[in-house]
Amino acid sequence: MKLDILVFGAHPDDAELGAGATIAKEVANGKKVGIVDLTRGELGTRGSAEIRDREAVASAKILGVSVRENLGFADGFFVNDKEHQLKVVEMIRKYRPDTVLCNAIEDRHIDHAKGSKLVSDACFLSGLMKIETKLEGEGQDAWRPKVVYHYIQWKDLKPDFIVDVSNFMEVKTRAIMAYSSQFYDAKSKEPETPISSKNFTDSVLYRAQDLGRLVGVEYGEGFTTERYIAVKDLGSLI
């Protein structure tokens, strides 16, 4: 299956928090979108890897993505080395996306920046013909995505561009709340975490509102890029 967009996240729920509304919008526009989680989030204070597996499946259905996979890297301890890069290359060559979205380049959680650099490096390596990979015993052709964009997570990074997601925040919110073990629940007896408070879930909405305000729309999601963005003409801007 060739995908238009492949979204990577260090943990289940990263993709939803950083780019959930953009994913939903692209799916609604007829694009084929997939998600690859690098880890199962097994070190998370709340829930378990098994619970998060189920939540990720439920969230993927809400977003309408074509596929979701988990590479099973060690939460908190994966590194950007050859072994991990080749596993990511296999996914890129398997799905041949034109666009890759991945973690924030800088963030509170150490896995986010690590995951960001790992995926970015793998996107480059995936285009090198002399790097050989196999999937299910079959050799894979080289493939390099046209663009790599990084969504924004905990830290309030300055975006290079903002996507108008005004009609898709409701879908994003439902996809996030599919992770009921992780986010605000007044009845939960689990320990508090930085993302389990009502303030955090509220912040997802007001960040989108603020980014939307900056570009004259109701809601927005911000992204950073490693290279210049080109437009066909001035009319291409909104």
Q: Quote the number of domains for the chain.
A: 1
User: pLDDT class for 56, splitting at 50, 70, 90?
Assistant: very high
Q: For residue 99, what are the domain limits?
A: 5-236
Supply the pLDDT for residue 238.
Answer: 74
Per the CB < 8 A criterion, the answer to whether 120 and 112 are in contact is: no
Query: Residues 181, 182, 188, CA angle at the centre, nearest 5°?
Result: 55
What's residue 211's pLDDT? 98
CB 108 within 8 A of CB 66: no
- Longest CA–CA span in the chain (Å) reads 55
Q: pLDDT band for position 204 (50/70/90)? A: very high
Rounded mean pLDDT, 207-227: 97
pLDDT bracket for residue 146 (50, 70, 90): very high
**Which has the minimum average pLDDT: 88-92, 196-200, 232-236?**
232-236
Task: Inform me whether the pLDDT recorded for 187 exceeds 80.
Answer: yes
Beta-carbon count within 10 A of 234 CB:
6
Q: Of 7, 89, 63, 74, whose CA–CA distance to 40 is shortest? A: 74
E-only strand ranges, 79-232: 99-102, 134-135, 138-139, 147-151, 161-164, 220-225
Tokens (6 digits) for 153: 């997570």
Task: Name the pLDDT band for 231 (thresholds 50, 70, 90).
Answer: confident
Closest CA to 50 of 35, 40, 62: 40
Model confidence band, residue 40 (pLDDT cutoffs 50, 70, 90): very high
Among 65, 64, 62, smallest CA distance to 170 is for 62
Residue 80 has pLDDT above 90, yes or no: yes
Q: What is the mean pLDDT of residues 225-237?
A: 88
Structure tokens at 51: 């619970």
What is the arithmetic mean of pLDDT over 183-190?
90
* Two structure tokens written together for 103: 């973690």
Bridge-partner residues for 67, per DSSP? 34
Q: Which residues contact 89 (CB under 8 A, 6 or more apart)?
A: 122, 125, 126, 131, 133
Q: What is the pLDDT of residue 60?
A: 98
pLDDT score recorded for residue 33? 98
Residue 143 near residue 127 (C-beta atoms within 8 A)? yes
Structure confidence at residue 69 as a pLDDT band (50, 70, 90): very high
Q: Single out the residue of 140, 139, 117 nearest to residue 10, CA to CA.
A: 117
CATH number at residue 177: 3.40.50.10320
**Backbone φ, ψ for residue 113 (5° rounding):** -65, -40
**Using 50, 70 and 90 to split pLDDT, how confident is the model at 198?**
very high
